Protein backbone atom coordinates (compact mmCIF):
# COMPACT_ATOMS: atom_id res chain seq x y z
CA UNK A 1 0.00 0.00 0.00
CA UNK A 2 1.23 3.48 -0.85
CA UNK A 3 2.42 5.74 1.98
CA UNK A 4 0.94 8.82 0.27
CA UNK A 5 -1.62 10.80 2.29
CA UNK A 6 -5.21 9.61 1.92
CA UNK A 7 -8.14 11.95 1.30
CA UNK A 8 -11.77 10.92 1.40
CA UNK A 9 -13.71 13.10 -1.05
CA UNK A 10 -17.50 13.09 -1.05
CA UNK A 11 -19.10 14.13 -4.33
CA UNK A 12 -22.53 15.46 -3.44
CA UNK A 13 -25.56 13.97 -5.11
CA UNK A 14 -26.63 17.44 -6.18
CA UNK A 15 -23.75 17.43 -8.69
CA UNK A 16 -25.48 14.82 -10.83
CA UNK A 17 -26.90 17.49 -13.15
CA UNK A 18 -23.96 19.86 -12.82
CA UNK A 19 -21.59 20.45 -15.74
CA UNK A 20 -18.71 20.43 -13.25
CA UNK A 21 -19.20 16.76 -12.33
CA UNK A 22 -17.06 15.33 -15.11
CA UNK A 23 -14.30 17.81 -14.37
CA UNK A 24 -14.27 16.74 -10.72
CA UNK A 25 -14.00 13.11 -11.79
CA UNK A 26 -11.10 13.92 -14.13
CA UNK A 27 -9.24 15.81 -11.41
CA UNK A 28 -9.68 13.08 -8.81
CA UNK A 29 -8.79 10.33 -11.27
CA UNK A 30 -5.56 12.16 -12.18
CA UNK A 31 -4.39 12.64 -8.56
CA UNK A 32 -0.89 11.24 -8.07
CA UNK A 33 0.55 12.75 -4.90
CA UNK A 34 -2.43 11.65 -2.85
CA UNK A 35 -4.55 8.55 -2.53
CA UNK A 36 -8.22 9.35 -3.04
CA UNK A 37 -11.37 7.51 -1.98
CA UNK A 38 -14.55 8.95 -3.45
CA UNK A 39 -17.79 8.72 -1.46
CA UNK A 40 -20.81 9.11 -3.72
CA UNK A 41 -23.87 11.01 -2.60
CA UNK A 42 -27.35 9.67 -3.17
CA UNK A 43 -28.59 12.15 -5.76
CA UNK A 44 -31.93 11.46 -7.44
CA UNK A 45 -31.80 7.84 -6.27
CA UNK A 46 -31.98 8.87 -2.61
CA UNK A 47 -34.67 11.42 -3.47
CA UNK A 48 -36.77 8.52 -4.75
CA UNK A 49 -36.37 6.70 -1.43
CA UNK A 50 -37.40 9.77 0.52
CA UNK A 51 -40.46 10.28 -1.67
CA UNK A 52 -41.48 6.63 -1.44
CA UNK A 53 -41.21 6.27 2.34
CA UNK A 54 -44.40 8.11 3.34
CA UNK A 55 -46.36 6.55 0.49
CA UNK A 56 -45.30 2.95 1.21
CA UNK A 57 -44.84 3.35 4.94
CA UNK A 58 -41.55 1.48 5.36
CA UNK A 59 -39.47 2.31 8.40
CA UNK A 60 -36.24 4.22 8.85
CA UNK A 61 -34.13 1.08 8.98
CA UNK A 62 -35.31 0.05 5.51
CA UNK A 63 -34.98 3.63 4.28
CA UNK A 64 -31.38 3.73 5.53
CA UNK A 65 -30.44 0.59 3.62
CA UNK A 66 -32.27 1.82 0.51
CA UNK A 67 -30.42 5.13 0.71
CA UNK A 68 -27.11 3.24 0.91
CA UNK A 69 -28.17 1.41 -2.23
CA UNK A 70 -28.88 4.82 -3.76
CA UNK A 71 -25.29 5.81 -3.02
CA UNK A 72 -24.16 2.62 -4.76
CA UNK A 73 -26.22 3.51 -7.82
CA UNK A 74 -24.63 6.95 -8.00
CA UNK A 75 -21.20 5.44 -7.39
CA UNK A 76 -21.75 2.94 -10.18
CA UNK A 77 -22.60 5.81 -12.52
CA UNK A 78 -19.46 7.74 -11.48
CA UNK A 79 -17.23 4.73 -12.12
CA UNK A 80 -18.79 4.31 -15.55
CA UNK A 81 -18.28 7.98 -16.42
CA UNK A 82 -14.60 7.84 -15.39
CA UNK A 83 -13.02 4.44 -16.14
CA UNK A 84 -9.93 5.21 -14.03
CA UNK A 85 -12.07 4.94 -10.89
CA UNK A 86 -12.11 1.53 -9.22
CA UNK A 87 -15.17 0.47 -7.18
CA UNK A 88 -14.32 -0.96 -3.74
CA UNK A 89 -16.35 -2.17 -0.76
CA UNK A 90 -14.18 -3.36 2.12
CA UNK A 91 -11.60 -1.40 4.08
CA UNK A 92 -8.97 -3.80 2.74
CA UNK A 93 -9.99 -3.08 -0.85
CA UNK A 94 -10.15 0.67 -0.24
CA UNK A 95 -6.64 0.59 1.21
CA UNK A 96 -5.17 -1.90 -1.22
CA UNK A 97 -6.55 -1.09 -4.65
CA UNK A 98 -4.85 1.51 -6.82
CA UNK A 99 -6.11 5.04 -6.19
CA UNK A 100 -8.61 6.45 -6.86
CA UNK A 101 -11.40 4.22 -5.64
CA UNK A 102 -15.16 4.74 -5.37
CA UNK A 103 -16.70 3.44 -2.16
CA UNK A 104 -19.66 1.11 -2.55
CA UNK A 105 -21.05 1.38 0.99
CA UNK A 106 -22.81 -1.98 1.36
CA UNK A 107 -22.27 -3.99 3.46
CA UNK A 108 -19.59 -1.98 5.33
CA UNK A 109 -21.79 1.01 6.17
CA UNK A 110 -24.47 -1.24 7.68
CA UNK A 111 -22.07 -1.95 10.53
CA UNK A 112 -21.08 1.69 11.02
CA UNK A 113 -22.02 3.29 14.32
CA UNK A 114 -24.34 5.81 12.69
CA UNK A 115 -28.04 6.39 13.26
CA UNK A 116 -30.49 4.88 10.77
CA UNK A 117 -32.05 8.27 10.25
CA UNK A 118 -32.42 10.99 7.64
CA UNK A 119 -30.23 13.11 9.95
CA UNK A 120 -27.32 11.04 8.60
CA UNK A 121 -26.30 11.63 5.00
CA UNK A 122 -23.23 10.82 2.95
CA UNK A 123 -21.58 13.81 4.73
CA UNK A 124 -21.37 11.90 7.99
CA UNK A 125 -20.70 8.61 6.24
CA UNK A 126 -17.73 10.16 4.45
CA UNK A 127 -16.24 11.36 7.74
CA UNK A 128 -16.95 7.98 9.34
CA UNK A 129 -15.09 6.31 6.47
CA UNK A 130 -12.22 8.78 6.79
CA UNK A 131 -11.83 7.76 10.41
CA UNK A 132 -12.03 4.05 9.61
CA UNK A 133 -9.33 4.42 6.95
CA UNK A 134 -7.10 6.73 8.97
CA UNK A 135 -7.42 9.40 6.29
CA UNK A 136 -5.65 12.74 6.53
CA UNK A 137 -8.85 14.65 5.87
CA UNK A 138 -12.36 14.48 4.51
CA UNK A 139 -13.52 16.84 1.75
CA UNK A 140 -17.22 17.44 1.08
CA UNK A 141 -17.91 18.85 -2.39
CA UNK A 142 -21.05 20.95 -2.23
CA UNK A 143 -23.38 22.88 -4.51
CA UNK A 144 -24.33 25.38 -1.82
CA UNK A 145 -22.50 28.73 -1.47
CA UNK A 146 -19.67 28.53 1.05
CA UNK A 147 -17.65 31.12 3.00
CA UNK A 148 -13.93 31.33 2.27
CA UNK A 149 -12.96 31.49 5.94
CA UNK A 150 -13.11 28.70 8.50
CA UNK A 151 -16.62 28.30 9.92
CA UNK A 152 -18.15 26.40 12.85
CA UNK A 153 -19.71 23.18 11.60
CA UNK A 154 -22.81 23.98 13.64
CA UNK A 155 -23.38 27.05 11.48
CA UNK A 156 -23.41 24.97 8.31
CA UNK A 157 -25.80 22.54 10.00
CA UNK A 158 -28.13 25.45 10.77
CA UNK A 159 -27.88 26.58 7.15
CA UNK A 160 -28.68 23.08 5.89
CA UNK A 161 -25.36 22.74 4.08
CA UNK A 162 -24.23 19.66 6.06
CA UNK A 163 -26.21 17.07 7.96
CA UNK A 164 -27.15 17.33 11.66
CA UNK A 165 -25.07 14.29 12.63
CA UNK A 166 -21.82 15.75 11.28
CA UNK A 167 -20.66 17.68 14.41
CA UNK A 168 -20.68 14.51 16.50
CA UNK A 169 -19.02 12.52 13.77
CA UNK A 170 -16.28 15.14 13.40
CA UNK A 171 -15.57 14.93 17.13
CA UNK A 172 -14.97 11.19 16.78
CA UNK A 173 -12.85 11.58 13.64
CA UNK A 174 -10.46 14.18 15.00
CA UNK A 175 -9.03 14.97 11.56
CA UNK A 176 -9.63 17.94 9.27
CA UNK A 177 -12.93 18.29 7.43
CA UNK A 178 -13.35 20.74 4.55
CA UNK A 179 -16.19 21.84 2.31
CA UNK A 180 -15.40 22.84 -1.27
CA UNK A 181 -17.81 24.40 -3.75
CA UNK A 182 -18.37 22.42 -6.91
CA UNK A 183 -17.37 25.54 -8.86
CA UNK A 184 -13.93 25.60 -7.24
CA UNK A 185 -12.57 22.54 -9.04
CA UNK A 186 -9.69 24.51 -10.59
CA UNK A 187 -8.53 25.76 -7.21
CA UNK A 188 -8.94 22.27 -5.78
CA UNK A 189 -6.82 20.79 -8.60
CA UNK A 190 -4.01 23.19 -7.74
CA UNK A 191 -4.44 22.46 -4.03
CA UNK A 192 -3.91 18.74 -4.56
CA UNK A 193 -0.21 19.43 -5.09
CA UNK A 194 -0.02 21.39 -1.83
CA UNK A 195 -1.88 18.87 0.31
CA UNK A 196 -4.53 21.40 1.31
CA UNK A 197 -8.07 21.30 -0.15
CA UNK A 198 -8.20 25.10 -0.25
CA UNK A 199 -11.87 25.39 0.63
CA UNK A 200 -13.84 26.09 3.81
CA UNK A 201 -12.42 24.40 6.88
CA UNK A 202 -15.08 23.22 9.30
CA UNK A 203 -14.39 24.08 12.92
CA UNK A 204 -15.49 21.34 15.35
CA UNK A 205 -18.45 22.13 17.58
CA UNK A 206 -16.30 22.29 20.73
CA UNK A 207 -14.17 25.02 19.16
CA UNK A 208 -16.99 26.93 17.53
CA UNK A 209 -19.67 26.76 20.22
CA UNK A 210 -19.46 30.48 20.96
CA UNK A 211 -19.91 31.49 17.33
CA UNK A 212 -23.13 33.18 16.33
CA UNK A 213 -25.66 31.00 14.54
CA UNK A 214 -27.44 32.45 11.55
CA UNK A 215 -31.22 32.27 11.45
CA UNK A 216 -33.25 31.45 8.38
CA UNK A 217 -35.20 28.81 6.54
CA UNK A 218 -33.90 25.27 6.97
CA UNK A 219 -32.38 23.62 3.95
CA UNK A 220 -31.25 20.06 3.48
CA UNK A 221 -27.70 18.78 3.43
CA UNK A 222 -25.89 19.92 0.31
CA UNK A 223 -27.90 23.12 0.12
CA UNK A 224 -31.20 21.93 -1.30
CA UNK A 225 -34.11 24.14 -0.29
CA UNK A 226 -37.46 22.84 0.77
CA UNK A 227 -38.90 19.49 1.64
CA UNK A 228 -36.05 17.23 2.63
CA UNK A 229 -34.76 16.26 -0.78
CA UNK A 230 -31.26 15.00 -1.44
CA UNK A 231 -30.79 13.21 1.85
CA UNK A 232 -27.68 11.04 1.72
CA UNK A 233 -26.32 14.01 -0.16
pLDDT tens, 152-167? 999 999 999 999 999 9
Percent of the chain with pLDDT over 70: 88
In a domain, residue 160? The reply is yes
Spatial contact of 3 and 33, defined as CB atoms under 8 Å apart = no
Q: How confident is the model at residue 215 (pLDDT cuts 50, 70, 90)?
A: very low
Quote the number of domains for the chain.
1
DSSP H or E run through 72: helix 60-81
- The yes-or-no verdict on residue 4 having pLDDT over 90 is no
DSSP code, position 105: -
DSSP H or E run through 102: strand 101-103
Q: Which domain holds residue 123?
A: 6-203
In a domain, residue 49? The reply is yes
Compute the C-alpha angle 31/35/37, nearest 5°.
Answer: 100
User: What DSSP line would sit under 29-64, residue for residue?
Assistant: HT--SSEEEEEE--HHHHHHHHHHHHHH---HHHHH
In a domain, residue 233? The reply is no
Question: Which residues lie closer than 8 Å to 146 by C-beta, 6 or more apart?
Answer: 161, 179, 180, 181, 199, 200
In a domain, residue 232? The reply is no
In a domain, residue 226? The reply is no
pLDDT (mean) for 120-134: 96
Spatial contact of 143 and 223, defined as CB atoms under 8 Å apart = yes
In a domain, residue 211? The reply is no
- What is the structure's pLDDT at 220? 40
In a domain, residue 92? The reply is yes
User: What DSSP line would sit under 153-194, residue for residue?
Assistant: HHHHHHTTSS-TTHHHHHHHH-SEEEEEEGGGHHHHHHHHTT
- What is the structure's pLDDT at 205? 78
pLDDT tens, 72-104? 999 999 999 999 999 999 999 999 998 899 999
Q: How confident is the model at residue 231 (pLDDT cuts 50, 70, 90)?
A: low
pLDDT tens, 105-114? 998 888 888 8
In a domain, residue 164? The reply is yes
Separation of CA 206 from chain center: 22
CATH number (domain holding residue 108): 3.40.1160.10
Amino acid sequence: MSSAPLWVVKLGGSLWRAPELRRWLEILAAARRLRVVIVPGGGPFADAVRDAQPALGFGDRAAHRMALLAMEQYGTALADLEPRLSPARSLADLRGRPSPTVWMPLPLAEDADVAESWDVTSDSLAVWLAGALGATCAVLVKSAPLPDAAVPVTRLVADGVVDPALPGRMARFGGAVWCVSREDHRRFARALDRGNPGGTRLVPAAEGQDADHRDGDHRDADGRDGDGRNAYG
